[in-house]
């Protein structure tokens, strides 16, 4: 068997790279050493998957809104202006008329002059001015002013339109019974007829009526005494909202007291 060379006790020197390769390696090392180490606060955000989330450096910073704090009770209450039910009648509790807002409308001597010049008709057939009684300021129920006049007549006597106008509302109330609201042609005044026994045939809301047309018939519906048929008649001046249930009361007596009687 040939003899094997004995193992050397000296380390085998590593082979050196060529000079050109060594220079390139040294250049890379120097470039990496020159890079700044990012601080913790400067590290890019990390998304849910562990990768770096992109940061839009052009996006503006978020805006913080400073909202004023209202003290308790300073927030204004919201009130409904919609189609609410008509409030309590100004002359008959439970009906569909209410105490008017005196700041939105007013009545003067001019209103009485205008209505007197219209030559309004007494609204009950066969009644003369001498038959009328001024009950406008009389109390009802001990505390309520009447704000109307009552015109007694036999049950079934025709009730006539006092003026040209339009039937604005047909309404049934506990105190007023069968009622009619007629607006004049200019929608300045409202004529109110109550305690009717029944309406005239074909009467409907929105119908144009002429002075002297039959609207209904005298009765005792509502809270009228059963043995005292009469017509409860009012005139009101409408406010800017033209609500049939609101208005300023006008005493019909001095206007109708000089009116021609309706023919029997």
Domain residues for 125? Answer: 109-256
* CA torsion angle 204 210 214 217 (round to 10): 80
User: Could you tell me which of 138, 159, 146, 130 has the C-alpha nearest to residue 219?
Assistant: 159
CA distances from 52 to 37, 38, 44, 46, 55 (A): 17, 14, 6, 4, 9
Residue 195 lies in a domain: yes
Residue 78 lies in a domain: no
Centroid of chain to Cα 97: 18
* CA torsion angle 237 238 240 243 (round to 10): 160
Residue 41 lies in a domain: no
User: Could you tell me which of 103, 259, 104 has the C-alpha nearest to residue 191?
Assistant: 259
Calpha distance 233→148 (Å, rounded): 6
The pLDDT tens digits for 106-120 are: 899 999 999 999 999
Mean pLDDT of 189-200: 98
Calpha distance 98→248 (Å, rounded): 10
Query: How many domains does the structure of the chain reveal?
Result: 1
Q: Residue 137's pLDDT is what?
A: 84
Question: What's 241's domain CATH number?
Answer: 2.70.70.10
SS (H, E, C) 93-110: CCCCCCCCCCCCCCCCHH
Kindly state the tokens that stand for 181: 């609201």
Q: Residue 144's pLDDT is what?
A: 80
| Matching residue, tokens 């047909």 | 170
Residue 131 lies in a domain: yes
Residue 212 lies in a domain: yes
User: Could you tell me which of 162, 216, 218 has the C-alpha nearest to residue 189?
Assistant: 162
Residue 152 lies in a domain: yes
Residue 130 lies in a domain: yes
Residue 180 confidence (pLDDT) above 80: yes
Burial class (CB in 10 A: 0-12, 13-18, 19+), 215: buried
The pLDDT tens digits for 43-62 are: 455 555 555 555 555 555 55
Mean pLDDT of 193-217: 98
Mean pLDDT of 127-132: 94
């Amino acid at each position: 068997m040939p003899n094997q060379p004995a193992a050397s006790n000296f380390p085998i020197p590593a082979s050196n790279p060529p000079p050109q390769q060594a220079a390139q390696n040294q250049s890379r090392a120097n470039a990496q050493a020159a890079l700044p180490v990012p601080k913790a606060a400067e590290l890019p955000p990390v998304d849910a998957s562990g990768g770096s989330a992109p940061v839009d450096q052009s996006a503006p910073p978020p805006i913080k809104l400073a909202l004023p704090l209202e003290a308790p009770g300073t927030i204004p209450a919201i009130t409904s202006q919609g189609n609410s039910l008509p409030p309590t009648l100004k002359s008959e509790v439970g009906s569909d008329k209410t105490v008017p807002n005196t700041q939105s409308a007013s009545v003067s001597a001019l209103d009485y002059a205008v209505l007197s010049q219209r030559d309004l008709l007494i609204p009950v057939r066969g009644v003369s001015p001498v038959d009328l009684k001024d009950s406008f300021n009389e109390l009802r129920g001990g505390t309520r002013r009447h704000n109307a006049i009552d015109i007694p007549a036999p049950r079934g006597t025709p009730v006539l339109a006092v003026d040209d106008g339009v039937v604005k509302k047909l309404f049934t109330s506990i105190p007023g019974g069968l009622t009619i609201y007629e607006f004049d042609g200019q929608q300045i005044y409202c004529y109110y007829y109550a305690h009717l026994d029944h309406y005239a045939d074909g009467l409907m809301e929105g119908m144009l009526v002429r002075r002297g047309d039959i609207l209904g018939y005298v009765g005792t519906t509502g809270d009228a005494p059963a043995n005292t048929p009469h017509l409860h008649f009012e005139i009101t001046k409408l406010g800017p909202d033209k609500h049939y249930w609101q208005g300023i009361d006008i005493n019909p007596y001095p206007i109708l007291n000089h009116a021609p009687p309706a023919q029997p």
